[in-house]
Amino acid sequence: MMMNHDLTQFSDEAKNLEILAEECAEVIQIKSKITRFGMYDFNPSKNVLNRDQLVQELGDVMAMMEILAFNGLFQEWELEQAIERKLNKLKEWY
């Protein structure tokens, strides 16, 4: 997918899926903050813009996707097909 790291230590499927769920929840949380306060609002407790926090959380989700792919949960071509399907659906319903 994106990077060359040794991912062999991340082989616990249940744990990986749980971490993925947590990361997705964090994306939802920052999306809500952006809706309430704006993309460029500054979060003083984290010392970061909402936009930058969103990028970080999306990166965390993508890292978990990398781990899941490494462990054979899906193939890259399957993900590409899913992305294509979603883009086509958005073209129709957006």
**In contact, 92 and 17? CB cutoff 8 Å:** no
pTM for the predicted model, two decimal places: 0.90
What's the DSSP call for residue 73? S
The band of 2, judged by pLDDT with boundaries at 50, 70 and 90, is low
37, part of any domain: yes
pLDDT digits (tens, 9 = 90+) for 29-84: 999 999 999 999 998 888 999 999 999 999 999 999 999 999 999 998 999 999 99
- Residue 64 lies in domain: 13-93
Q: Is residue 71 part of a domain?
A: yes
Asked whether residue 4 carries a pLDDT value surpassing 60, the answer given is yes
Q: Looking at the domain assignment, is residue 64 inside a domain? A: yes
Is residue 2, in this structure, part of any structural domain at all?
A: no
CB 71 within 8 A of CB 11: yes
Degrees, nearest 5: CA angle 46-1-52? 20
Structural domain total, the chain: 1
Q: Flag whether 1 is in a domain.
A: no
Q: What is the pLDDT of residue 43?
A: 83
Domain assignment present for residue 65? The answer is yes
- Alpha helices by DSSP H, the chain: 13-37, 50-70, 76-93
Q: What is the pLDDT of residue 77?
A: 94
Evaluate whether residue 3 is within a structural domain. no
